[in-house]
């Protein structure tokens, strides 16, 4: 038989090698066609008396990325349509569809012939669940091999047997940690947990897998044998009593109940281990069906998988512009940001010229890369030869002539218009006419900076976030005269360094900083009202934010907040900044010398490690304190999310961001806007524009004009629209694609 996505070759020992290699895909993923073909292959292996067993591997560098989540999205779309006609029938259809992969993997492991998974590279989600259903598992001894069940990160959970097989192969504590965090495992870690059997040299991977079958591998899983005992002991045992009560408490502490899928994992494991395996699979299928219907799953799948993937593939890239293959990139300014940009560029294998006012400063910037990559080597995440290669790609210099031949120059000098003007003019004097010039400014409008350029159409903003090596988002800012070539080149660069680009039109603070400043400002207001600082920080985390607004101010620096406020007053006028908030920041900086994390003193105190930061006791003396019982905690949570979401809506109304995917993905990647909501705009869509406007009006009445809903939202509320209807990103001729 011939297949589109697989080849099946049987050797003289009667071992079938099933090679998964999907045409026109960079990575194998589970689709309906793939599942149908695998079903037939299982039948073929069973029916052929000459086949003793089968090895499944990949014909690509990676094994598989798991299920194509756009398939799940389609499943949910069908469910939504059917639900209107017949809710019971729709739920049954969703349940049956959710169990398709479960049934297929169960069929494989009970087929009566041994199967071995030969894992040659990245093996995620449904692909790892397929491997767990195989009777033997061998992984290549390579840095490319990463195994995980990461579904919880997109609002769902491993629903093809993962919650039942993992805790039957390893102890329950390690199983829960892996499943609820989406933890990535190396071959060594997976073997120590009992999730794989062997680690082989990459060239001997398939042969090692075949040898398992030749050496008499049982075609029966441990849990299907009589007398099977759980590796970590029963649920109702001393070990179980020590694990489960704290596990539930830890999950609550880490998620604040915002992630239904994480809670469902605990339920699946707990209930599933009390019953026979097939009943456990049925329990998992029921919970998976329930989670698939949650608004959290729909929002997270859309933003954190589909939209993220589309943006990473260049969804906003202008059509018809040839792709730039970067031969040389220049970075102006070797300070913390410039040095970070040089590091990620060299890490992508692109030669970098790192320029500063003198060689000493430029060399110091290169030393930042050396420090970062040395740390990676020390942790075993990079090899010494990779360090040498990366550092060889960075050329420190003080001579602008060394920028000759650069395809792109990124300016990351001091935030001063005069300094930026001089840097732009000196760089352009040696650049080829087609080269693109980008500024990493975070405050000065790109259109204003482009006036320093002799070729404004080749001038663009590329705004990185700190620290550059860790932050995955990059804002690309269009000036009024920026051309398509500049936009395409900027997107190509951001993709080359494996970051996510969002395209933003020019405005003060662009998109991310406008939203972040609202978040911080609301916290200052709360402090002034007398809300105890611990309640503010805890409310933010309970609302789903990774960092409280006061801690975030410390990270970005309180004296920077002071500079931004003063510059805003200078540019726009006194009314642009609340005088009470200005007074608070002035008191922190000028009276108490508390600049933030950088000097160990901010809204928090930062003692030397291993001691943890703690709120500065002096905060409570700044304003008369309300008694905690007088504070509406739920309202605090609401205020912090609503103020950000309103700013995101204003940005859309003003045409600063035009694509809701970018607003949502940007809000999550840049400052961690409650990921379970799907992002700032999906948060509004999830509540409904009409209900959201009602909430905003209530907050405006109590707390002021910053909660005033923009006209766009009022119009959407009246028409019953969502952002994804009003600003449908797919009207632009873009097609949804999977990896």
Residues involved in catalysis: 463
496 vs 739: CA distance, rounded Å: 17
> Strand (E) positions, 190-296?
198-200
449 vs 417: CA distance, rounded Å: 7
Taking alpha carbons only, the member of 497, 416, 495 closest to residue 452 is 416
722 vs 716: CA distance, rounded Å: 7
Q: Compute how many other C-beta atoms are within 10 angstroms of the C-beta atom of residue 320.
A: 7
Degrees, nearest 5: CA angle 105-107-113: 105
How much helix, strand and coil, in percent to the nearest 5, is found in the chain? 55, 10, 35
Q: If residue 84 lies in a helix (H) or strand (E), which one and from where to where? A: helix 69-85
Contact 134, 109 (CB under 8 A): yes
220 vs 215: CA distance, rounded Å: 15
In DSSP notation, 316-384 reads TSPTTPPPP--S-EEEE--SHHHHHHHHHHHHTT--EEEE-SSHHHHHHHHHHHHHHHHHHHHTTSS-H
**Beta pairing, strands 6-10 & 15-20:** antiparallel
CA distances from 525 to 35, 521, 590, 706 (A): 55, 6, 19, 11
Helix segments in 445-578, DSSP class H: 446-450, 484-496, 512-529, 533-543, 549-556, 558-572
Contact 138, 116 (CB under 8 A): yes
Contact 503, 511 (CB under 8 A): no
Taking alpha carbons only, the member of 195, 197, 154 closest to residue 178 is 195
């Amino acid at each position: 038989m011939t297949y589109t996505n697989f080849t099946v070759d049987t050797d003289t020992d009667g071992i079938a090698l099933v090679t998964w290699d999907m045409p026109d895909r960079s990575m194998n993923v589970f689709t309906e066609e793939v599942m149908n073909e695998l079903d037939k292959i299982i039948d073929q292996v069973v029916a052929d008396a000459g086949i003793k067993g089968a090895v499944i591997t990949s014909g690509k560098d990676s094994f598989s990325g798991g299920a194509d989540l756009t398939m799940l999205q389609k499943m949910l779309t069908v469910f939504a349509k059917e639900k209107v006609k017949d809710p019971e029938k729709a739920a049954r259809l969703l349940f049956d569809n959710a169990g398709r992969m479960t049934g297929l993997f169960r069929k494989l492991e009970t087929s009566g012939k041994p199967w071995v998974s030969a894992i040659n590279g990245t093996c995620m989600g449904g692909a790892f669940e397929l491997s767990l259903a195989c009777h033997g598992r061998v992984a290549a001894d390579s840095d490319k091999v990463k195994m995980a069940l990461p579904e919880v990160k997109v609002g769902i959970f491993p629903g093809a047997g993962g919650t039942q097989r993992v805790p039957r192969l390893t102890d329950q504590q390690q199983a829960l940690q892996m499943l609820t965090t989406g933890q990535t495992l190396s071959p060594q870690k997976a073997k120590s947990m009992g999730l794989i059997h062997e680690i082989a040299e990459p060239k001997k991977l398939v042969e090692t897998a075949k040898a398992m079958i030749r050496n008499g591998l049982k075609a029966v899983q441990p849990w299907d044998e009589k007398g099977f005992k759980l590796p970590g002991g029963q649920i109702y045992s001393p070990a179980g009593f020590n694990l489960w009560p704290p596990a539930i408490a830890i999950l609550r502490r880490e998620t604040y109940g915002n992630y239904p899928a994480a809670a469902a994992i605990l339920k699946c494991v707990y209930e599933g281990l009390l019953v026979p395996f097939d009943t456990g699979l049925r329990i998992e299928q029921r919970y998976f069906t329930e989670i698939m219907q949650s608004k959290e799953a729909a929002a997270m799948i859309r933003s954190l998988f589909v939209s993220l993937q589309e943006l990473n593939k260049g969804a906003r890239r202008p059509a018809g512009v040839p792709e730039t293959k970067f031969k040389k990139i220049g970075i102006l300014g070797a300070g913390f940001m410039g040095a970070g940009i040089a590091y990620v560029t060299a890490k992508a294998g692109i030669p970098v010229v790192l320029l500063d006012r003198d060689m000493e400063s430029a060399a110091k910037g290169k030393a930042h890369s050396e420090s970062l990559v040395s740390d990676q080597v020390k942790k075993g995440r990079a090899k010494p030869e990779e360090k040498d290669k990366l550092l060889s790609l960075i050329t420190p210099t003080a001579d602008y002539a060394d920028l000759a031949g650069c395809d792109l120059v990124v300016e990351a000098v001091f935030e001063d218009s005069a300094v930026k003007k001089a840097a732009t003019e000196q760089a352009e004097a040696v650049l080829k006419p087609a080269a693109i010039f980008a500024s990493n400014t975070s405050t000065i409008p790109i259109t204003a900076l482009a006036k320093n350029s002799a070729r404004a159409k080749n001038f663009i903003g590329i705004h990185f976030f700190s620290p550059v090596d860790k932050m995955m988002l990059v804002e690309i800012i269009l000036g009024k005269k920026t051309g398509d070539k500049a936009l395409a080149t900027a997107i190509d660069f951001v993709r080359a360094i494996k970051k996510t680009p969002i395209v933003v039109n020019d405005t003060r603070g662009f998109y991310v900083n406008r939203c972040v400043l609202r978040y911080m400002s609301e916290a200052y207001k709360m402090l002034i009202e007398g809300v105890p600082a611990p309640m503010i920080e805890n409310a933010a985390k309970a609302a789903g934010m990774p960092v409280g607004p006061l801690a975030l101010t410390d990270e970005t620096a309180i004296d920077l907040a002071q500079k931004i406020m003063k510059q805003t007053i200078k540019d726009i006028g006194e009314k642009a900044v609340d005088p009470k908030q200005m007074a608070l920041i002035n008191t922190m900086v000028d009276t108490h010398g508390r600049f933030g994390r950088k000097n160990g003193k901010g809204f928090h105190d930062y003692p030397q490690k291993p001691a943890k930061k703690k709120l500065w006791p002096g905060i409570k003396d700044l304003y008369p304190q309300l008694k905690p019982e007088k504070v509406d905690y739920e309202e605090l949570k609401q205020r912090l999310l609503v103020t950000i979401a309103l700013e995101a809506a204003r940005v859309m109304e003003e045409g600063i961001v035009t694509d809701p995917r970018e607003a949502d993905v940007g809000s999550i990647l840049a400052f961690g806007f409650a990921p379970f909501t799907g992002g700032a705009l999906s948060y509004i869509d999830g509540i409904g524009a009409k209900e959201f406007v009602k909430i905003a009006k209530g907050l405006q009445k109590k707390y002021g004009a910053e909660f005033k809903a923009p006209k766009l939202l009022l119009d959407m509320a009246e028409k019953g629209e969502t952002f994804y209807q009003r600003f449908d990103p797919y009207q632009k001729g873009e097609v949804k694609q999977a990896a």
